[in-house]
Amino acid sequence: VNVLIVDDKADDILLTRRMLEAQGNYNINEAYNGKEGLDLINRQKPDLIILDLNMPEMDGFTMIEELKANETTRSIPIIIVSGEHLTAKQRDKLTDQVEVLLQKSNLTENELLEDVSQALARLRQEEKKRPRSDNIP
């Protein structure tokens, strides 16, 4: 499973990476801002994105808008892991666009792994429902 972690804090990326690697079945790429994340996604589409919101150059909100506007990246599940306290308006906007919103301050390994597992299971279910374009005559 290919996972992209996008966060401007190297320590947070390392912590998230270690949580996932403890499970042993994740291929992890990292980016330090939204622009770098989009560049990586264009080269290799991940199965899941773990995204911070407050980053330089391109923040997580803008990155989500870019991903959702693109047909090929629209369905990639996104898990927000952020230290930012969101307004009600920001939360409402994100609710329809991401799998789950997690706070860095009280993030547990079990919670992250469970949310990753559920997001990937939902993605597999969606892929089963979608007609396969390679079968069209």
Q: What is the pLDDT of residues 2-13, one digit of tens each?
A: 999 999 999 999
* Residue 60 contacts residue 49 (beta carbons within 8 Å): no
List domains and CATH numbers for the chain: 2-124 (3.40.50.2300)
At 26-60, the pLDDT tens digits run 999 999 999 999 999 999 999 999 999 999 999 99
* Calculated CA dihedral for residues 98, 102, 108, 113, nearest 10 degrees: 0
Give φ, ψ of 25 to 5 degrees.
-120, 30
Q: Is the pLDDT of residue 128 over 90?
A: no
CA distance 124 to 119: 9
**Residue 133 confidence class, pLDDT cut points 50, 70, 90:** low
**Residue 137 confidence class, pLDDT cut points 50, 70, 90:** very low
At 53-95, the pLDDT tens digits run 999 999 999 999 999 999 999 999 999 999 888 888 888 888 8
Residues 6+ apart with CB under 8 A from 76: 41, 45, 46, 47, 48, 49, 67
